[in-house]
Structure 1
Amino acid sequence: MAVDFHIHSSFSGDSDAPMEQMIQEGLKKGLRTMCFTEHMDMDYPEEPGVFEVDTRSYHEKFLQMKEKYQDQIELLFGIELGLQPHLAGRHRKYLSEWPFDFVIGSSHVVHGKDPYFPAFYEGKTESQAYLEYFESILENLAVFDEMDVYGHIDYVVRYGPNKNQHYTYEAYREVLDEILKTLIRKDVGLELNTAGYKYGLGHPNPTEAILKRYMELGGEILTIGCDGHAPEQLAWDFEKIPALLKECGFRYYTVFEERMPVFYPVETF
């Protein structure tokens, strides 16, 4: 196993894991690169401020760890932005202020509600809720495209009433194709997030069918991350990744350093 490009530590509001503990576990698992991507969800409605990382403290700790472990593992400084259309200007300013290696843009809040909570699904069918989520991704992309990849684009199915029991790429083909085409046109990559396995979905986020379609449409930038919030979640089910990538038609996966993509053969993962 080579790289994990979606990792949270105690600098994120939903993790208690010290950064150094995550690094030590990464070393045990044989990772050669770890990219921390702490949460920056401005204007989060459920508990304001809970997902706004103290970036200065995060950066200072990261630099300490980078120096301490420089001969053992490559550590990269990333961020996961919680996208909402009205935050586009604030996100641009924020990114200009810090030397991130990698930026994930993710949809955690849709029209003022987080799909993690049942309230998002009230008064609508599951398919209506999923469609609203996907359409909100297009709303975000219409005003902001300065991230390197879009994270877990079918995040909503982790928490829907029936999760992915009735969910398929084909059921949402039109909107999903529009998302993928928009990402490719804007040179924003896609994330393969293995937390779908952790949540019992039996598939990554997004699903294999979406990954295949992304490749068919000409998508090339694909990062791989566990979305881990605890040491035991690092590199979750990464042993499945090489075969999955080849099945979906990918010959390369992507890492970022100083916001620039670098491509490695699948065989090196």
Structure 2
Amino acid sequence: PDYHLHTRFSGDCETDVEELIMAARRLGMESICITDHNDMDFPETPDGVTFDLDTDNYIAYLKELKLKCQSPDFLQNDIVPFSLRIGVEQGVMPSTCEKLNSFSSEHSGLDFIICSTHVVDNMDPYYPEYFEGKNEKDAYRKYFEDILYNVTHFSDYNVYGHLDYILRYGPTKADNFRSNDYLEIFEAVFKKMIYDGKGIEINTGSLYRGLSFMHPHDDILKLYREMGGEIITIGSDAHHLEHVGYAFSDAAKRLRNFGFRFYCTFRDMKPTFVPIEL
């Protein structure tokens, strides 16, 4: 099941929710989790995009759709039931950790929350302007330091999204990335996450955005496994129908190669471990 998907409820997406579900069903999926963007206090962007989720309407709509997905009319001749899970990709930064810590208790009905870092020093690295006048290595370090701050002060999430998101957009991408340059940060991040019962995601969205690897980078995934990390989800980060379930068989092989035997699904913010079948 794809556990990182965007629809028209996200500021940067126009995909229809029901069309997304049908695309997933055509791929043989029996479940997906919609995870639209909610980025509180997102700074003004050069292209004017905002990421404030209309959370109550979003959850209400998906709850209705959840029931519809169980109906014979929706399933047509398909005897396999389809389970829709309700999630959010929570854009978190040091200034919003405290405000967002009660999000799931304030909005009942959520199955899953991805915590993601999209903003560093009041700008999304997606915009090339972020790197102007910065040393790439220093910019990467600041990004990872913010993740450490977030996992230390924010706990209302299940997995951390695209841990090395910044590598998508750096001037040299991952060409000069060496995880050992940031080892003490990653070790502290994973120690805290594992202690808190949190996990990470394999995000295949980097592959159709020009990178040669899935998030997170091999070195980061290896460290997570070596430190005892077990909770892991797989998500395409799709904003368009053609990217739903992108390279998932490769993602499954990658997990097995790194020693993972299970991936996770979530219901009511609690994980279920599912064997990885190749």
What CA deviation, in whole Å up to 9, does each residue of 1:80-115 have, x standing for no partner?
Answer: 111012212321233212121001110001121111
Contact map agreement 1:5 1:35 (CA 8 A) in 2: yes
Counterpart Cα distance in 2 of 1:91 and 1:266: 33
Worse overlay, 258-267 or 139-148: 139-148
Contact map agreement 2:4 2:35 (CA 8 A) in 1: yes
Counterpart Cα distance in 1 of 2:264 and 2:102: 26
Pair 1:49–1:120, CA change in 2 (3 A): closer
Q: What residue is the counterpart of 2:96 in the other structure? A: 87
The residue type paired with residue 126 of structure 2 is: Y
How many angstroms does 1:257 deviate by?
A: 0.6
Contact map agreement 2:59 2:110 (CA 8 A) in 1: no
Q: What residue is the counterpart of 2:172 in the other structure? A: 162
Q: Which runs of 5+ in 1 are unaligned?
A: none
Contact map agreement 2:116 2:163 (CA 8 A) in 1: yes
Pair 1:74–1:61, CA change in 2 (3 A): same
How many angstroms does 1:46 deviate by?
A: 2.1
What CA deviation, in whole Å up to 9, does each residue of 1:106-157 have, x standing for no partner?
Answer: 0001121111112321222111110110011111122112211111110000
Alignment pair present for 1:78 and 2:87:
yes
The residue type paired with residue 27 of structure 1 is: R
| TM-score normalised over the length of structure 2 | 0.91
Contact map agreement 1:228 1:234 (CA 8 A) in 2: yes
How many angstroms does 1:49 deviate by?
A: 7.7
Counterpart Cα distance in 2 of 1:212 and 1:187: 18
Give the superposed CA RMSD: 1.5
The one of 2, 5, 25 equivalent to 1:4 is: 2
Contact map agreement 1:42 1:49 (CA 8 A) in 2: no
Q: What residue is the counterpart of 2:61 in the other structure? A: 61
How many angstroms does 1:198 deviate by?
A: 1.4
Matches within 5 A, 1:235-246: 235-246=245-256
Q: What residue is the counterpart of 1:40 in the other structure? A: 38
Q: What residue is the counterpart of 1:19 in the other structure? A: 17
Matches within 5 A, 1:77-116: 77-98=86-107, 99-116=109-126
The one of 269, 273, 276 equivalent to 1:266 is: 276
How many angstroms does 1:79 deviate by?
A: 0.5
Give the aligned length: 266
Q: What residue is the counterpart of 1:136 in the other structure? A: 146
| TM-score normalised over the length of structure 1 | 0.94
Counterpart Cα distance in 2 of 1:162 and 1:119: 15
SS in 1 for 2:102: helix
SS in 2 for 1:7: coil
SS in 2 for 1:85: coil
Contact map agreement 2:43 2:122 (CA 8 A) in 1: yes
Counterpart Cα distance in 1 of 2:44 and 2:8: 19
Counterpart Cα distance in 1 of 2:90 and 2:62: 18
SS in 1 for 2:97: helix
Counterpart Cα distance in 2 of 1:243 and 1:88: 34
Residue identity over aligned pairs, in percent, reads 39
Counterpart Cα distance in 1 of 2:186 and 2:153: 18
Q: What residue is the counterpart of 1:255 in the other structure? A: 265
How many angstroms does 1:239 deviate by?
A: 1.7
Alignment pair present for 1:145 and 2:124:
no
Q: Which runs of 5+ in 2 are unaligned?
A: 76-80
Contact map agreement 2:98 2:153 (CA 8 A) in 1: no
Contact map agreement 2:101 2:155 (CA 8 A) in 1: no
Q: What residue is the counterpart of 2:78 in the other structure? A: none
Worse overlay, 45-54 or 128-137: 45-54
Counterpart Cα distance in 2 of 1:212 and 1:94: 31
